Structure formats: structure tokens, C-alpha cells
């Protein structure tokens, strides 16, 4: 989420990135992008706005990359603005069912740096928890930081792990067992284990 770009003004450079962690193609046409205070945008793509499994898509306030800081925006929305302090990003089905939502909090638990997008440290982590977000560390040509349309790069994963996920100093079958348990959803990993 780029709620406060520095390279350009907010009205040109705000964007959010979505990804599909499921196994099926998702059509975003008709979904509603909104917040609690009444701002909303219904995604209008009559031919379909298809998000493939493991694909990243950028929804932005301006799809002109000569004005928006050089960002490739896959879909331009309107009537939806991101506060630089506290706000919500909610995606709902027309039936009212909330598909996903976050509520960022002016830096209390979510990152809040000007010119740096908030990046979820793993697409499978709970995005409603600020502890699972970090500032992007990949610098864009505009000077801002983010990875719109690509996997996130954050300060939490600058080093390459050696596979010792249980941090006992020994790389062995116990590490492999832990990795399998994580994949099966039986245990959770910390940020350092994910890296």
C-alpha cells in the first residue's frame, strides 16, 4: 500500500497491490474497494479483471505513469483516497461479504514512512496485523520505495537464510520437519524464519 508517496502528490501516486494466494483465477469486476467513512469504488471492468494464482496486480488512483511516479497501474480507481494517518482498505463482494480488509494505524503497529510503501512480509501472513508489515526497501526510479506488481522486498529479509529454521545451529532433518509443518499450517514461523 502506497498511502503517502513523496515523488508525486497523493492524488497522483497512491496505489494498492493485491495478490491471489488461491488456486483459482479471481475476477475483480464488480468488487467494491472502500473504507469505513463512505468512500468507495466499484471495480468496473466489463470484460473482467482477472487475477491469476500467485499474480500481483496494482490498483491505483492514476494509471498515467508520467504523472504517478512511474508506476504501472493495472486498474485505475476513483472516489477512493488513502489517508496518510489512519484508514482502512476493504475489498467487498456486492453482497456485502468482506473479502479482505486492513486498518492501518498511523505508525502504531503498521509502518508509516513517507515515500515508502507498506509491504506485507509474506502473502500468506495475516494482513490485518501491523507486525506482518514492513516498509519497502526496493527503490523505484522516482526515488520512492516499493515493488508494485512484484513480490515485496522489505528490510526484514535482506539476508539470505541458511535453512536453520529452528535456530539450533545445526542444519539437519529437524529443520526440514519444521518447514513441512509450516507448509501444512501446523506451526507458524517468525519473520527471521521466513527469511
Spatial distance between the Cα atoms of 163 and 194, rounded to a whole number of angstroms: 10
The dihedral over CA atoms of 157, 163, 165, 168, expressed in degrees to the nearest 10, equals -120
What are the two backbone dihedrals, phi and then psi, of residue 26, each rounded to the nearest 5 degrees? Answer: -110, 135
Q: Which residues of the chain have pLDDT under 70?
A: 154-162, 191-195
Would you give the distance in Å from CA 78 to the centre of its chain? 19
What is the value of pTM for the model shown? 0.78
pLDDT for position 127? 93
Give the pLDDT of residue 158: 43
pLDDT at 192: 62
Cα gap 57→155, rounded to integer Å: 22
Per-residue pLDDT, 15: 97
| pLDDT score recorded for residue 108 | 93
Contacts 24+ apart (CB under 8 A), 128-133: 128/101, 128/102, 128/103, 130/104, 130/105, 133/104
Cell of 73: 497501474
The values of phi and psi at residue 154, to 5°, are -125, 165
Amino acid at each position: 500500500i502506497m498511502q503517502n508517496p513523496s515523488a508525486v502528490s497523493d492524488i497522483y501516486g497512491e496505489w494498492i497491490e493485491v495478490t491471489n494466494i488461491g488456486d483459482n483465477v479471481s475476477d475483480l469486476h464488480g468488487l467494491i474497494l472502500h473504507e469505513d467513512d463512505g468512500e468507495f469504488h466499484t471495480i468496473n471492468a466489463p470484460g473482467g479483471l482477472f487475477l491469476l494464482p500467485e499474480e500481483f496486480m496494482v490498483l491505483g488512483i492514476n494509471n498515467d505513469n508520467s504523472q504517478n511516479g512511474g508506476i504501472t497501474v493495472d486498474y485505475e480507481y476513483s472516489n477512493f483516497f488513502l489517508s496518510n494517518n489512519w484508514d482502512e482498505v476493504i475489498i467487498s463482494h456486492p453482497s456485502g461479504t468482506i473479502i479482505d480488509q486492513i486498518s492501518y494505524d498511523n505508525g502504531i503497529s503498521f509502518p508509516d514512512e513517507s515515500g515508502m510503501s507498506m509491504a506485507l512480509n509474506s502473502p500468506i501472513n495475516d494482513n490485518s496485523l501491523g507486525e506482518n508489515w514492513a516498509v519497502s526497501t526496493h527503490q523505484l526510479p522516482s526515488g520512492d520505495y516499493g515493488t508494485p506488481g512484484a513480490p515485496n522486498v522489505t528490510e526484514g529479509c535482506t539476508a539470505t537464510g541458511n535453512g536453520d529454521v529452528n535456530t539450533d545451529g545445526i542444519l539437519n532433518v529437524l529443520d526440514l520437519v519444521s518447514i513441512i509443518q509450516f507448509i501444512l499450517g501446523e506451526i507458524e514461523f517468525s519473520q527471521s524464519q521466513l527469511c
